[in-house]
């Protein structure tokens, strides 16, 4: 179990993020067209997993906008924005915002949050994914992780991008 905060109050997650140097757990998420987005289908690609509670919050929406803008800095990487929002809501948000440099994926019917240790187990957002970032190389090895210390704060974009560029 790891700890973050929500509005200054301690919030716990179901586990720990995968360790740097380990291989990420296999996952299957749901894409905006309801197709599977799997770790196997993304093998060979550097990944920046931008994980967050919901696009319906300002900080989450900002993280998608910023990663969309900065994705061009790492041309061989895929930025995968992951929440438990329904794929329809993710697609609607990206369409309205003109976001097309990142891929959205929903964990609403998967064990992703538990497998990556990011499902919040207490507090008002329990059951949703804690704000975090995981960067992996093309073989699925973890290069960088961050569990953001306060859910309402943005992730360290520059550290995530630097890790992806080194891959």
Q: Sheet holding 77-83: strands in order across?
A: 36-38, 28-31, 103-106, 77-83, 46-51, 132-136, 142-147
Residues belonging to the active site = 60
Strand partners, 144: 135
Enumerate residues 6+ apart whose C-beta is below 8 A from 9.
123
What distances in angstroms separate CA 88 from CA 30, 94, 139, one per listed residue?
A: 10, 10, 30
């Amino acid at each position: 179990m790891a700890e973050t905060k929500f509005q200054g109050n301690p919030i716990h997650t179901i586990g720990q993020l995968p360790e740097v140097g380990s291989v990420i757990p296999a996952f299957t998420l749901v894409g905006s067209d309801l197709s599977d987005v799997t770790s196997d289908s993304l093998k060979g690609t550097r990944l920046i997993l931008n994980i967050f509670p919901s696009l319906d919050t300002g900080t989450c929406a900002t993280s998608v906008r910023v990663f969309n803008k900065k994705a061009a800095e790492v041309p061989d990487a895929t930025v995968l924005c992951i929440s438990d929002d329904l794929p329809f809501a993710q697609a609607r948000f990206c369409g309205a915002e003109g976001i097309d440099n990142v891929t959205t994926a929903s964990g609403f019917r998967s064990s992703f949050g538990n497998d990556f240790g990011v499902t919040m187990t207490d507090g008002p957002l329990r059951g949703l994914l804690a704000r975090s970032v995981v960067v992996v190389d093309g073989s699925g090895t973890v290069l960088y992780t961050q569990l953001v210390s306060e859910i309402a704060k943005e992730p360290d974009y520059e550290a995530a991008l630097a890790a992806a560029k080194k891959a």
